[in-house]
Amino acid sequence: MIDIKKNLLELRQHIKVLAKQYQRDPDHIKLLAVSKTHPTEKIKQAIAVGQTCFAESYVQEAIRKIQELSQQQLEWHFIGRIQSNKIRDIAKHFTWVHSVASLKAAQQLDHYRPDNMPPLNICIQVNVSEEASKAGIHLAELIPLAQHIKALPKLNLRGLMTIPKINHDFTQQRQPYRKLYLVQQALNLQDFNLDTLSMGMTNDIAAAIAEGATIVRVGTAIFGERIYDE
């Protein structure tokens, strides 16, 4: 039996310890509970211990949960692959999108963001390890995309996100996160004012916090293993 309350309390404590260890302000590390594939019932257990920020990867599934939980004051983050036929729904139902990696996706999100909602918070997903197969924009294309997004009125460019390839060595886990941090610093020298680094998951949260993560995206350590039934 998964004890979501216990998992969350332990995870918050773990984040505090890591923050202290790496001289980070724990208030500058937001914990996103990645609830994809998990039922609304489990999300309610997290809400009961004060969790308010949730992340989803599949639009249809996410909208169902957002509607089921519409009585609650929650902040929903989209972290999945952006399909063009789902962009209108993403723009309407989420507060943040972490996985923007093309100008077209950005323009469409801006176009469909309803006028009566605050600007959509955006992270550009960067492929720091430059793997051909991985999602995310390559470094060479990052600045032009960031400039374009800056100019879109209904988007608020907040920062960068990355999903590195799986690695179980702590020192090696830090490398892509260090790289993302340095890229953020470079952009901020050009007045992009990015305040967000979305990096770190269940298996590499320590490496991400060590390198400056301001949002960590944690699923398994809170909700247990995911079961995909497709």
Ligand X SMILES: *Cc1c(COP(=O)(O)O)cnc(C)c1O
Which span (39-47, 85-93, 152-160, 196-204) binds ligand X, by CB under 6 A? 196-204
Comparing CB distances to ligand X, the nearer of 90 and 218 is 218
Q: Which two tokens stand for residue 166?
A: 């799986």
Q: Which of 36, 38, 86, 158 binds ligand X (CB under 6 A)?
A: 36
Q: Is 212 in the site for ligand X (CB under 6 A)?
A: no
Task: Give the nearest distance from C-beta 84 to ligand X in angstroms.
Answer: 19
Residue with tokens 């995206």: 217
- Which 103-162 residues touch ligand X, going by CB under 6 A? none
Comparing CB distances to ligand X, the nearer of 157 and 205 is 205
Q: Is 219 in the site for ligand X (CB under 6 A)?
A: yes
Comparing CB distances to ligand X, the nearer of 42 and 154 is 42
Q: Which two tokens stand for residue 57?
A: 């990867």
Under 8 Å CB-to-CB from 202, ≥6 apart: which residues? 218, 219, 220, 221
Under 8 Å CB-to-CB from 41, ≥6 apart: which residues? none
Q: Is 77 in the site for ligand X (CB under 6 A)?
A: no
Residue nearest to ligand X (CB): 219
Phi, psi of 213 (to 5 degrees): -55, 135
Q: Which two tokens stand for residue 92?
A: 């309407």
Query: According to DSSP H, which parts of 53-169 are helical?
Result: 59-68, 87-93, 103-112, 142-150
Residues that bind ligand X (CB under 6 A): 34, 36, 57, 79, 163, 201-203, 217-220
